[in-house]
A and B are shown apart, each in its own frame.
Chain A
């Protein structure tokens, strides 16, 4: 069946369901108006099946919704990948001092919930004797609370989404709500996420986080420049994770954590560009990936500078 015809039929079916849903909703009188049920969001197609017009409708609807909710103009973008770009990340493990500046820069940039707290980056503190032979997450302590870092005899390992080239989370998702983009970023369509958390169980890095309740962000702390697949405010019951700051990096900028790092340990660039920082460090430094034996092929490389 030609694509246009297929689309037309599915659109009309959607419209039919919408109308039916609206009718049923009207009959039931929709109790609990406090938690308004968004029919349009409910019947929204998968992100990759939206036509250009439908996508614009979705983005404008979200902009209206969040501008109203936070009382300030919010833009929701869906800027696409750039041809010939595959993002890669480098982290100089010999320089990280475990100050957690990146964690909070990420929270501010990517609109993570403040209460209940969600952090996309987790900094693990290891005793240096524990990491001589191998890195075992069990030995790492993310809750270290000190006057000053780096502490004597400790090493630090920040862990966020490793943007695997062979992502287990994508295979686990039953609704195809998460997938890898052509530029290598594993993204989530929050509208299609049903909150089953299979991806969280599948991820070997603990990189995915669940919104157990409605996320709370103070209106004055909201980052109003958002991307549909990245830092757009999330709703109750969906999974979220690092998106390599898709709203920044697809516009050529460095991720927020790179700019926040006081020791310059974080590097970012295009793996397909032989002159990029990431290629330089892969060619000149000793690099490793976490849990290489799992064959997830992370695009997040740790190195010794």
Chain B
């Protein structure tokens, strides 16, 4: 029962409302509200199909290799093979190419004293040079979640697809990990200078047309 009918009835007291418009109204309501696609322009643009990509398979992350170590110093065993390590902290004249600015650390805090080509953790277990991040994260463990998420450190490749990761030593020099200042690229041309050069160019074009 249409709830509006009693109201309609009272609007025309005495007389009887004709019933014939009801099926017409019902048909129009169905046509307009139910099957509306014939009059409303469709949202999907014909010339511009949207794409769905296949569900992403977690791609193997690509670990970029660290830059090669300066062969003036590496492998360390070239010089240190037969030397006994002196555990005393001191200035090293032979290593004046290495700027040591990493907290309060000194060589043997990271380098093995008996196997010179290796590093070591605080419990003296050896670490390969290629896996130096295992040593870094002993102090800088707080960086691991950020790095894994791709928020600490540089990522290249695909936001959806294989990503290239870098371990610590790719960007940070382990001996002085702070970023070195860079020479900036040239500043932009100011709007005033641009206006002058634009006007010159327009004049040129005008001359060429004449």
List residues of A whose CB falls within 8 A of some B CB.
3, 32, 34-35, 47-52, 54-55, 78-84, 90, 92, 97-101, 103-104, 115-117, 119, 122, 142-150, 182, 212-214, 249, 252-254, 258-259, 261-264, 267-270, 276-277, 280-281, 284-285, 305
Contact = CB atoms under 8 A, between A and B. Distances in A.
Contacts of A182: 50
A47 B48 CA distance: 9
Contact of A213 (B42, B202, B208): B202
Interface of B: 41-42, 45-53, 145-146, 149-161, 166, 171, 179, 181-190, 194, 197-198, 201-202, 205, 208-209
B160 A252 contact: yes
B36 to A, nearest CB: 14
A305 B188 CA distance: 28
A35 B190 CA distance: 29
Contacts of B181: 97, 148-150
A54 B47 contact: yes
A149 B184 contact: yes
B149 A268 contact: no
A116 B194 contact: yes
A100 B181 CA distance: 13
Given A83-B50, A147-B183, A3 B158 contact: no
A207 B210 CA distance: 36
A51 B150 contact: no
B46 A51 contact: yes
Contacts of A49: 45, 47
Contacts of A119: 188
Given A117-B194, A267-B150, A81 B47 contact: no
A50 B156 CA distance: 35
A231 B197 CA distance: 24
Nearest to A102: B185
Nearest to A281: B151
Contact of A143 (B152, B190, B198): B190
Given A264-B171, A267-B151, A259 B184 contact: no
15 contacts: A51-B46, A55-B47, A80-B49, A82-B52, A99-B182, A100-B186, A252-B160, A252-B161, A253-B158, A253-B161, A259-B156, A264-B155, A269-B159, A277-B150, A285-B151
B183 A83 contact: no
A305 B208 CA distance: 54
Nearest to A279: B149
A3 B179 contact: no
Contact of A48 (B48, B52, B183, B184): B48
A100 B205 CA distance: 32
B46 to A, nearest CB: 6
Contacts of A259: 156
A116 B46 contact: no
Contacts of B50: 80-83, 182
Given A34-B209, A80-B50, A270 B160 contact: yes
Contacts of B49: 52, 80
Contacts of B166: 264
A55 B49 CA distance: 12
A34 B53 contact: no
A157 B197 CA distance: 28
Specify which of A212, A264, A277 lies most central, judged by the most chain B CB atoms within 10 Å of its CB.
A264
Contact of A116 (B150, B201, B209): B201
A276 B159 contact: yes
Nearest to B38: A2
Contacts of A276: 159
A111 to B, nearest CB: 17
Nearest to B42: A3
Given A34-B208, A81-B51, A83-B52, A277 B149 contact: yes
Contacts of B185: 99-101, 103-104
A254 B155 contact: yes
Nearest to B145: A284
Contacts of B151: 90, 92, 267, 277, 280-281, 284-285, 305
B17 to A, nearest CB: 36
B198 A116 contact: yes
Contacts of A142: 187-188
Contacts of A280: 149-151
